[in-house]
Structure formats: C-alpha cells, structure tokens
Structure 1
C-alpha cells in the first residue's frame, strides 16, 4: 500500500504571511490541526500546527484582555512560528515507511510531494483509520491472537481448515515476537463459529492467547 491511497489529497494550506488568527480560524472551520505553508513560488516553506499557534499566544498569566490578544495574533504571521525544516514523503512511498518516519521523529503528519509540488498530507488520523481497516475492526467475526514458531506453513493449515468450513478470512496481521524464533499472529474470520475456530486450533496444535467473537 502506498501513501497516495491513504493520504488526504489537495490539503488546505496557508502562505507565510497568513496571520495566526486566520490560520486558527481555518483549522477550526475545517477541523484540522496542521497546515502546510506554501510560498509565492508554490514551494513548501514549512508547516504550522495548532500547538505552534498555542505556543505563540500569551500565557495564562497575561494581563492583556481578549481584544488586545486578538490584535496581537492578527499581526503575527505564520512565518514566525512555523516549522521550516519539514520532513516529507513521496506519493509513491509505502505507508509503513511514512509511519516509521513519524514514529522515529515524533511528528503527527507528513506533507506528500510529487516532484516539488504539494499533493497531499498524511496524518496520524489517516494511519489510525488504515490500522482499523487492516484489522477489520468494523466487521464482526471470530478473532484469534496467538504466538507460534516463525516457519513456513503455520498459517496455511489454519486457513485451509477455515476455508473447508466455508469460512472467510477478513484480516491477517503478523508482527515480531519478543521470543526469538517466534512470530505473533492476529487472524479474523467470518462464517465460522467460536467452537469451530477452537477446534481448528486444536487440530493445528496451536494455542490462542486470546480468542473471541466480535459482534
């Protein structure tokens, strides 16, 4: 899966001379927390977040009234508070690479570029949405979580038996185990009962750490 398929295309953006008040109003109107900043040459100049705007405002201890605060924010521009060194990804980058960058650098979004043009933005929300889709979270079924030796054929036996009962696999997710030589598996299937799944695991000589019916 590539970024182009999960990003928000044609994101709302601002220019460096946009006031903080305008930026804040845009975020509120469109229910977003990040705004790419595009300069007069249509190049990505930075990114500004709701947190940046909050930091730029007066502290709670200020003696300014609401009108004075509003005036100051209307005169302060995005260029003064934005992050200028912005990490980006290509629209053809794989999703897991974007997720890795966001985790390693502790950032909540990545502008998506095609050549030097901004074509989208991928955020934590986009990845969380994808996460729920990968796990089939919105669909009912039998869900099992188990740990087994990381070797060929572990999953094929389970899947063959599920298919033989006219069951349907809607999600298979694997990840590394803390135990060397093992791997963790999460499988979700429909069209079979909880007891049938338990019997399948017994026949495959596997023990589920967790098995449940999701309705």
Structure 2
C-alpha cells in the first residue's frame, strides 16, 4: 500500500509570516494537531504542533496575561527542517519513520511541493486495516519451520476448506531463527475444522493452544 492511498490531501497550512494567534485559531477550528508551514511556492519549510502553540501562548490561569506573544510570527516556533515523505512510499516503511523519529505528522511532498499529510492516527487506522482486525474474523497462530515454500503449504489447508483469509502476518518465533509464526485472520466464526486440519497435518498451534479444543 502506498502513502497516496491513505494521505489527507486537504492540508491546513500557514505562511511563515502568519501569527501564533492565526495558528491557534486554525487548530481549534479544524480540530487538528499540526499545521504545515509553506512558502509562496507551496514548498514545506516547517511544521507546528498544537503543543508548540500552547507553549508559546500565555497561560489561561494567569489573570490579565500579556497576549502580545500571540502576535509573534509562526516561523519563530516552527520545527525545521521537516522530514517529508513521497506519495509512492510504502506505508509499512513510513510506519518505521513515525516510530524511529518519534513524530506524529509527516507532510507528503511531490516535486518539492506539498500534496498531502499523514498523521500517526492515519497510520494506526491503516495498520488496523492491513491486519484485518476491523472485520469479524477468527485468529489462528501457527508455528512453522522457517524454510521456503512453507506459507503456500499452510494456506493450501485453508484453501481445501474454501476459507477466506482476511490477513496474514509473519514474524520470528522468539529467539529461534529456525521457526516463524504465521498469524492468520480468517473470515469464519467457526474455525474448529481448520484448526483440526492444521493439527492433523502436524503443525503446532500457538493460538488456539494445542490443548484447547482437544477431546
């Protein structure tokens, strides 16, 4: 999946000469957490979060606070340079940027111009879709040897039952590099026939545990 499939194209922006008060108004009006700062050519030059704006604003607990700070230009508090991504970047790779850089919003740029934005909330929702947890399904975890061809061998068992697979995840088994764990979400409310088929084929199930459902 590419970034262009999940990015928001209607991005709220400000010019660097706008005031902190302008940013505060937009954050409240659109109920967003980030504003991208662009120049006259729509090139990204900075980004401002709601926390940046709050930190630069006078405290609401101080009576007769000096609000003149709200007239400072937004470029005085924006973060720059800005990490950006491209519409054709893969979502899975972008997820690692959010994690490694500990950021919450990434502007999307094509030909040096802003075309969209992706937030951590967008990313979380997308990962939920990719893993199939947003649909009614049953979860099966299978421990398998880490060797070529193992995935089609296991999925063939699902195919014999004509069971629709909503998603498949593959991850290492603890610290043992000789095994993998295949995580299937299948669209059936009665997974027991598949579970029994997997057991009959000699596969070890991590979920449901091999002891569950045995008679």
TM band (smaller chain):
0.7 to 0.9
Q: State yes or no: 1:180 paired with 2:177.
A: yes
Aligned position for 1:103: 99
Q: 1:136 aligns with which of 132, 149, 152?
A: 132
| 1:109-188 to 2 correspondences below 5 Å | 109-177=105-173, 178-188=175-185
Report the 3-state secondary structure (helix = DSSP H, G, I; strand = E; otherwise coil) of the residue aligned with 1:68.
coil
Distance 1:151 1:81, change over 3 A: same
Aligned 8 A contact 2:14 2:35 in 1: yes
Query: 1:81 aligns to what?
Result: 77
- Cα 1:3–1:16 change in 2 (3 A) is same
- Return the offset for 1:192: 6.4
Conserved 8 A contact 1:162-1:192: no
How far does residue 166 in structure 1 lie from its aligned partner after superposition? 2.2
TM-score (norm 2): 0.87
Alignment gaps of 5+ in structure 2: 210-215
TM-score w.r.t. length of structure 1: 0.87
Aligned partners of 1:41 and 1:3: how far apart in 2? 22
Match of 1:205 in 2: 202
Equivalence for 2:11? 11
CA distance in 2, matches of 1:162, 1:155: 11
Please tell me whether the aligned partners of residues 146 and 184 of structure 1 are also in contact (alpha carbons under 8 angstroms).
yes
Give me the whole-angstrom Cα distance separating, in 2, the residues matched to 1:2 and 1:91: 7
Aligned to 1:128, what secondary structure does the other structure show? Answer: helix
- Distance in 2, Cα, partners of 1:73 & 1:197: 65
1:108 offset after TM fit, Å? 1.2
SS in 2 for 1:99: helix
Q: Tell me the distance in 1 between the aligned counterparts of 2:160 and 2:189.
A: 10
Aligned residues: 208
Unaligned 5+ runs, structure 1: none
CA RMSD of superposed structures (Å): 2.1
